[in-house]
Amino acid sequence: MKPIIITNNPKVRQKYSNDYEVVFIDGTYMEVLITIRDFIHKGHELLTHPLSGSIKPNETPYKSALISNIKGKMNMESIMIIEDSIQTAKKFQTMKKTPQWSQAILKDFSEIDYRLLDSGLQSMLY
């Protein structure tokens, strides 16, 4: 089973779009979380935690996650995780907005997000 990748990270889209279904969101971290929630409500299952890594939701503009490519019954655990993740992201955004980072720092955040996603994919393969 190949998962669906939901991301707003251009590097993730570029690296994986030939091998996986990539839903690219030309938008914010929060818009990615909301898109993930929409897929979960349609019966997809969350395969990676939406708040993976140690970077706070108000520090990075990039977010990528894996969901199942098969629709089933709504998974309550996935729903609870994504809803809690959205609330956590809102809390952090309320406390402090994501800074306007330099291109060099944005590139670093893109790389971190890419590697977190790649690690999740690799762990699914083995």
- Average pLDDT value for the chain: 95
The predicted pLDDT at position 82 comes to 98
Q: What is the pTM of this model?
A: 0.94
Residue 126 has pLDDT above 80, yes or no: no
Among candidate residues 35, 3, 32, the one with its CA nearest the CA of residue 19: 3
Strand partners, 22: 5
C-alpha separations of 92 from 36, 51, 118 in Å: 19, 12, 25
Q: Helices 29-41 and 76-95 sit at what angle, rounded to 10 degrees?
A: 160
Q: Distance between CA 88 and CA 19 in Å, rounded?
A: 32
Q: Among 11-15, 38-42, 57-61, 78-82, which is the least confidently predicted range?
A: 57-61
The predicted pLDDT at position 125 comes to 78
Q: Distance between CA 91 and CA 88 in Å, rounded?
A: 5
Residue 44 and residue 97 in contact, taking contact as beta carbons nearer than 8 Å: no
Residue 40 and residue 85 in contact, taking contact as beta carbons nearer than 8 Å: no
